[in-house]
C-alpha cells in the first residue's frame, strides 16, 4: 500500500500530474474505471485496503514503481490468470507508464468481474511530475 503520509503530503500540496480534473476516487461514488489525476490517485491509494496494481513489464517495475505496488504485466500471456489471484471485490488503483495499458487492464478487470478499479491518467510519469514517491 502507498505510504499514507506521502499521499497526504501530495494531497496537501494540491499537486496534479495531468490535465484531467480530479475525479471521485470511490467506485461506489463515481462508477467503475475512472481516470484519475495524480492528486485523485494519491487519495485513492491512501485508502485502507486499496490494491495498487502496476501493469507494466517487470523491467519497468524494477526501474521504479509506487510503494507496495503489485506487478502484473498486462501484456503477458498469463495476465488473466494472474489477476485471478486478486480479490475482485477490493478497490484497485491501476497504473502503467502513460495510461494506455492501464485502460486495457481496466477493461480486462471488468470482464473478470472486478467491481471497483480506477487508473492513473498520464501514468507513472504524471505521478512523478506531481512529486509522488517511487521506489526500486
Residue 17 is assigned to a structural domain of this protein: yes
- Output the nine-digit C-alpha cell for 90: 477490493
Residue 84: count other Cβ atoms within 10 Å of its Cβ: 11
Residue 135 is assigned to a structural domain of this protein: no
Range of the domain at 117: 4-129
Beta-sheet pairing, 51-54 with 91-95: parallel
Residue 134 is assigned to a structural domain of this protein: no
Q: What local confidence, expressed as pLDDT, does residue 31 receive?
A: 77
Residue 81 is assigned to a structural domain of this protein: yes
In the block, cell 506521502 appears at 6
Between CA 72 and CA 40 the distance in angstroms is 22
Mean pLDDT per block of 10 residues along the chain (136 residues) reads 42 36 39 94 96 98 98 98 97 97 97 97 97 96
Q: What local confidence, expressed as pLDDT, does residue 25 receive?
A: 41
Tell me how far the alpha carbon of residue 91 is from its chain's centroid: 10
What is the domain-level CATH number for residue 54? 3.40.250.10
Q: Active-site residue 96, yes or no?
A: yes
Q: What local confidence, expressed as pLDDT, does residue 121 receive?
A: 97
Q: What local confidence, expressed as pLDDT, does residue 63 receive?
A: 98
Q: What local confidence, expressed as pLDDT, does residue 30 receive?
A: 54
In the block, cell 495531468 appears at 18
Query: Among the options 66, 94, 96, 109, which is catalytic?
Result: 96
Q: What local confidence, expressed as pLDDT, does residue 94 receive?
A: 98
Amino acid at each position: 500500500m502507498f505510504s499514507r503520509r506521502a499521499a497526504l503530503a501530495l494531497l496537501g500540496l494540491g499537486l496534479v500530474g495531468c490535465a484531467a480534473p480530479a475525479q471521485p476516487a470511490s467506485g461506489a461514488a463515481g462508477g467503475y474505471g475512472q481516470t484519475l489525476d495524480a492528486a485523485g490517485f494519491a487519495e485513492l491509494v491512501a485508502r485502507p485496503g486499496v490494491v495498487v496494481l502496476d501493469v507494466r513489464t517487470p523491467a519497468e517495475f524494477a526501474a521504479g514503481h509506487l510503494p507496495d505496488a503489485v506487478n502484473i504485466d498486462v501484456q503477458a500471456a498469463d495476465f488473466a490468470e494472474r489477476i485471478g489471484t486478486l480479490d475482485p471485490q477490493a478497490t484497485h488503483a491501476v497504473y502503467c507508464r502513460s495510461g494506455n495499458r492501464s485502460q486495457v487492464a481496466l477493461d480486462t478487470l471488468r470482464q473478470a468481474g472486478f467491481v471497483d478499479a480506477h487508473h492513473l491518467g498520464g501514468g507513472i510519469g504524471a505521478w512523478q511530475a506531481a512529486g509522488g514517491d517511487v521506489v526500486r
